[in-house]
Amino acid sequence: MVQKDKVEQALLVGLHGAPELKYDEKVQYLGEFRERIIRKLTIEQVRERAIYPEILQVLRESRASKLIINGNIDYRFIEKYKALAVSCNKISTVRSDPSFQGDTGLIVISDEAVDIQDIEVEDRSSRLRRLGIPSALIEAAGQKICKDCMNQLTLADENEKINYQQLNWMDRLSGDSCPGHK
């Protein structure tokens, strides 16, 4: 009887592979255990033009060991996060697997369990609107803005400066204007 169970188990492993610990959790989080995740962005958040400052802050921490990005996202959206990981001397990996489920676009993980309750990062637009930043300025991420808009943004959230550059006199001379005032 015991011999029959071992044969059945061997056949099942041969057909379906070895049983995996917390499989449902791992397909949700790009192949990682939930308790190792420090921060998570959705696919839509990764596809935004701006970088989420929360990811930069976490990558600067010593407990952060790796940045993992969903391989189903176009490279033009993920290259900014790969460069961010390099600048923080962290490993970045792009993972593609048809079994991945859910909306996970990017995770920052630790080598050991950190068990953080709230790994989700608040939507950038919602957070900046709540801080009183006008929509035109939020949507101007990646562009050059005037000194007044840069000051307003810096007062609301110092870390958002990574998503903007300040207009200089040469820009104004060539006809550029601040998109935050349109």
> Where along the chain do its domains lie?
2-109, 124-181
Average pLDDT over residues 124-150: 94
Residue appearing with tokens 């420090």: 38
| C-alpha closest to that of 78 among 55, 111, 57 | 55
State yes or no: pLDDT of 19 exceeds 90: no
Q: What percent of the chain has pLDDT over 90?
A: 70
Asked if 93 and 67 touch (Cβ cutoff 8 Å), the reply is yes
- Across the chain, what does the average pLDDT equal? 88
Quote the pLDDT of residue 40: 96
Between 19 and 110, the more confident residue is 110
Residue 114 DSSP label: -
Quote the pLDDT of residue 1: 46
**pLDDT tens figures, 96-112:** 888 888 899 999 999 99
Quote the pLDDT of residue 13: 61
Q: What topology does CATH give the domain 2-109?
A: 60s Ribosomal Protein L30; Chain: A; (3.30.1330)
Classify strands 37-42 and 104-109 as parallel, antiparallel or unpaired. Answer: antiparallel
Which pLDDT band, with edges at 50, 70 and 90, does 18 fall under?
low
What is the per-residue DSSP string for 71-112? TTS-HHHHHHHHHHHHHTT-EEEEE--TT--SSEEEEEE-SS
Quote the pLDDT of residue 68: 94
- The set of residues, in sequence order, having a beta carbon less than 8 Å from that of 38 and lying 6+ positions away, is 58, 61, 63, 64, 107, 108, 109, 110, 114, 116, 119
Q: How far apart are CA 92 and CA 77, in angstroms?
A: 14
Lookup: tokens for 80: 């900014």
Quote the pLDDT of residue 3: 58
**pLDDT tens figures, 54-93:** 999 999 999 999 999 999 999 999 999 999 999 999 999 9
State yes or no: pLDDT of 48 exceeds 90: yes
Q: What percent of the chain has pLDDT over 70?
A: 88
Burial 118-151 (b: 16+ CB within 10 A, else e): ebebeebbebbeeeebeeebbebbebbbbeebbe
pTM here is 0.83
Q: How far apart are CA 61 and CA 129, in angstroms?
A: 27
